[in-house]
Amino acid sequence: MADKFKIIIAANSSKSSNNSSSSFISKVAIVKLEFNLVLDLNPIHSDWYIYLTQAGLNDSSVVNLGPSPLELAKVNIDVPEMALDSSFQFITNITIKTRDGTRTAKVAECRGADSTYLTSEGKKRDEVKEPGPVKRKKRDVNEADVNRRNSQLFCDTAKCRQIECDIVTIAPNDGVRIDLELKIDAKILEKLKLPADIIDFTTEARAAILNTPIDIQPVDHKPDSTRVITSFDTGRTSPQEIPGWVIPVSIILGILLLLIVAAVFYKVGFFQRSDREALLQAQEDDSTDTAGSPENTNAFSSHNNLIDTEYDYLSKYKAPNLNKLAENGVKSTDGMIPSFPTVTFCNHQTLVTGLFPESHGIVYNRMYDPVFNESFAYGNDSKWYSAAEPIWITAKQSGLKTGVSFWPGSTVNYNDVKNDFTEGFERNQNFSKRVDTAIDWLTKKNLNFVAVYFEQPDGEGHAFGPESVQVGNMVEIMDNIVGDIFTAKIFDKINIIVTSDHGMSAINLTEPNALVLTKHLDQNDYELVSQFGAVGAVLPKKGKEDKVFNDLNNKHPHVKIYHKKDIPERLHYQHNRRIMPIIAIAEEHYFVSYNGSEFKNDTVKGIHGYDNNLVNMRALFIASGPSFKRNVELASFNNVDVYSLMCHLLEITPKPSNGSLASLKSILMSVSIVVKPPFYLVSVMSVSFQFSPPESNSYKNKL
């Protein structure tokens, strides 16, 4: 197949560096990006957000041009010749991402073939006669990228010419994002003899280093690629007009994966012995461990999080896709109430089982089981999950096809019942690959349920704080990645739920804000401390429960100590053997420390895990699709109810749970949609966003 759409980014070094110690990327002379456009069946109007990925850089959504100043001289773009008329608009923005802020520069002008000049507003000027049609070199294209239903190659169907756009100079350490907006009138498609009501633009971007000042490239250099699906501005067909056979139940759960820093939550691993010396030594060794191995199934990663929920990410930062989704569906204006403790693994499991942590057994990100005589740390051993069955297993047993990517617990074996497709955690996999996987499962594998999560912008919040430029940039990137899935051709035929697992609160890891356990406890009185952070847990030796309680009680004015049996019932945190006999619950902005090692870590800006009544712990909830009403504001509700909602949409019988559909019935259309095979998908995606209520709401919740 031939190239359909090509962008060449020429990055010419304006100030070459002679410093031999500078990175390889800083010496790049020319970077080429090929951008292939496929015509597919779906609506016409499209806005593209093209994220250029620098060759050799993992998990990056912008081109990082390195420490040496580089000048992006031009962008060459092939477009259909017949598009160069009044019905065609081509608008290009170069967004420069810097350490200190973001600046956007519009492209001054784009010169087209045959005396056609396009300004950044899409207007034409006739000045200089340009060369004729561009001769494009043919190359093979991966069938998997283009073999979608009735797809057509744009530049094979329409004669294409090349447009050259002048752009801007890039400063050291800047990133680049190019936003291209293309609007094509239906008349063009009539000329192509294609049905105008079912056109979809799908793209693949590929970046590679073409030329460098040195003779050879690093041995680990590999071209990187990303796939982008355009967003559409098309009205949604009413549910009654959508044939049942094409309506998948697509549940996109935007789950905020919060990666916990070992400075606050030590890495205990799996203990095989219960003797105090071994346990305490492991705690000492792990309390300063700040890195997790992606190959280690007992740990995902480690970074603590600060996201101050004083502001709503969706209103503070650029998030058009999610805001549009909310406007066309349902949003909880008061936020969804997570389960206690408000940490990642507990609430991921709650969302897919409908059970409180005390019922499903994942009572913290790290925990100890006295029967197993082992400790759990972000693990996937099936014995820790055996108390509850997640929705994808129930769906699978009901005859549906399921796929789960990056979801905590997704690789757990439930009595040899497995997903049709599963992708476990892989630290270096970029977001575009996850999107590709979800779209592939959706369009080619005919899955009924797909669960995917992304851990950003949560990670940037951990590292830089909620007010940081980095968080704002990542919100925009994640919003457009969400848009990549939202704008697939079945967008208006799927039900989408976007939510997060909990919120965040600011923290200053200093001694005045901490209850340091070892400062008050006699090491001969306890076996181990199984968790730290917003919630601490201590296993006293037999007969020492009261002494340990008294040694900790009233030692910090902002940390409450409980016997397990006295924990408030509303927290649903009593009835599980993995909940330790002595529990310490910190008030917001305070924390529980094992030995004070956290005080040396000045990179941690916030934690979560606090009382789920706190507004800063509340989660985002948006739902849209044929089964949901439009433009509806929803009061707060418990996240255990999401499971019942998903089972209702999938038309499967839910397992017993702590939630119900009662609180969410009002958001559903009164006319039910009968979903019949063949299904396309039920998709679940995970995005990191947090809820923040309007400033007019005054919440005074405290522990």
What Å distances lie between residue 184 and 87, 190, 447, CA to CA? 6, 11, 32
Residue ranges covered by each domain of the chain: 28-122+150-233, 324-506+613-686, 511-601
Q: Higher pLDDT residue, 458 or 345?
A: 345
The active-site residue out of 202, 226, 309, 344 is: 344
Are 240 and 671 in contact, with CB atoms under 8 Å apart?
yes
Are 446 and 401 in contact, with CB atoms under 8 Å apart?
yes
Are 109 and 74 in contact, with CB atoms under 8 Å apart?
no
Note the pLDDT of residue 152.
Answer: 37
Note the pLDDT of residue 681.
Answer: 22
Note the pLDDT of residue 381.
Answer: 86
638 Rama class: left (phi>0) / alpha (psi -120 to 50) / beta: beta
**Other beta carbons less than 10 A from residue 218's beta carbon:** 12
Of the candidates 215, 310, 213, the one whose C-alpha atom is nearest the C-alpha of residue 11 is 213
- Percent over 70 (pLDDT), the chain: 47
**Over the stretch 560-616, which tens digit does the pLDDT of each residue have?**
999 999 999 999 999 999 999 999 999 999 999 999 888 877 777 778 899 999 988
3-state DSSP assignment of residue 128 = coil
**Over the stretch 236-263, which tens digit does the pLDDT of each residue have?**
222 222 222 222 333 333 332 222 111 1
What is the DSSP secondary structure assignment for residue 160, as one 8-state letter?
A: E
Most confident of 41-50, 81-90, 222-231: 81-90
Q: Summarize the confidence of residues 296-325 as an average pLDDT.
A: 49
Paired with 452 in beta bridges are: 405
In this structure, of 59-63, 319-323, 491-495, 521-525, the range with the lowest mean pLDDT score is: 59-63
Q: What is d(CA 224, CA 205) in angstroms, rounded to the nearest whole number? A: 9
Q: Summarize the confidence of residues 324-339 as an average pLDDT.
A: 89
What is the DSSP secondary structure assignment for residue 340, as one 8-state letter?
A: S
- Percent over 90 (pLDDT), the chain: 23
Whether 658 has a pLDDT exceeding 90, the answer reads: yes
Note the pLDDT of residue 393.
Answer: 94
What Å distances lie between residue 661 and 370, 635, 664, 667, CA to CA? 35, 14, 5, 10
Mention every residue, 6+ apart, whose C-beta is less than 8 A from residue 85.
Answer: none
Confidence of residue 351 (pLDDT cuts 50, 70, 90): very high
83 Rama class: left (phi>0) / alpha (psi -120 to 50) / beta: alpha
* CATH fold label, 324-506+613-686: Alkaline Phosphatase, subunit A (3.40.720)
Whether 453 has a pLDDT exceeding 70, the answer reads: yes
Whether 500 has a pLDDT exceeding 80, the answer reads: yes
Note the pLDDT of residue 259.
Answer: 20
Confidence of residue 317 (pLDDT cuts 50, 70, 90): confident
What Å distances lie between residue 611 and 261, 341, 343, 522, 614, CA to CA? 20, 7, 11, 28, 6
Note the pLDDT of residue 625.
Answer: 83
Averaged confidence pLDDT in the chain: 61
Are 316 and 334 in contact, with CB atoms under 8 Å apart?
no
Q: What is d(CA 270, CA 306) in angstroms, rounded to the nearest whole number? A: 28
Q: Higher pLDDT residue, 311 or 643?
A: 643
**Over the stretch 174-203, which tens digit does the pLDDT of each residue have?**
444 444 444 444 444 455 454 434 333 333
The first and second tokens of residue 191, run together, are 């000329």
**Over the stretch 58-115, which tens digit does the pLDDT of each residue have?**
223 333 333 333 333 344 444 444 444 433 344 344 444 444 455 454 444 444 433 2
Note the pLDDT of residue 485.
Answer: 67
Note the pLDDT of residue 179.
Answer: 42
Note the pLDDT of residue 353.
Answer: 94
Cα 620 to the center of its chain, rounded Å: 13
Confidence of residue 313 (pLDDT cuts 50, 70, 90): low
**Over the stretch 508-523, which tens digit does the pLDDT of each residue have?**
889 999 999 999 999 9
Mention every residue, 6+ apart, whose C-beta is less than 8 A from residue 235.
Answer: none
Of the candidates 495, 485, 4, the one whose C-alpha atom is nearest the C-alpha of residue 230 is 485
Note the pLDDT of residue 554.
Answer: 97
Q: Summarize the confidence of residues 458-464 as an average pLDDT.
A: 69
3-state DSSP assignment of residue 204 = strand
Whether 635 has a pLDDT exceeding 60, the answer reads: yes
Q: Summarize the confidence of residues 626-648 as an average pLDDT.
A: 91
For 28-122+150-233, give the CATH class.
Answer: mainly beta
Confidence of residue 423 (pLDDT cuts 50, 70, 90): confident
The terminus-to-terminus CA distance of the chain in angstroms comes to 63
Note the pLDDT of residue 462.
Answer: 67
For the entire predicted model, the pTM comes to 0.56
CA torsion 588→590→592→597, rounded to 10°?
A: 140
**Over the stretch 127-182, which tens digit does the pLDDT of each residue have?**
333 333 333 333 333 333 323 323 333 444 444 444 444 444 444 444 444 444 44
Whether 276 has a pLDDT exceeding 80, the answer reads: no
Confidence of residue 389 (pLDDT cuts 50, 70, 90): very high
Note the pLDDT of residue 364.
Answer: 94
Three-state SS for 642-656 is HHHHHHHHHCCCCCC
The first and second tokens of residue 648, run together, are 């209702």
Mention every residue, 6+ apart, whose C-beta is less than 8 A from residue 63.
Answer: 9, 31, 52, 53, 54, 175, 176, 177, 207
Are 531 and 559 in contact, with CB atoms under 8 Å apart?
no
Note the pLDDT of residue 426.
Answer: 67
Q: What is d(CA 611, CA 535) in angstroms, rounded to the nearest whole number? A: 9
Active-site residue, 169 included:
no
CATH 3.30.1490.20 fits 511-601, yes or no: no
Paired with 226 in beta bridges are: 205
Q: What is d(CA 539, CA 304) in angstroms, rounded to the nearest whole number? A: 25
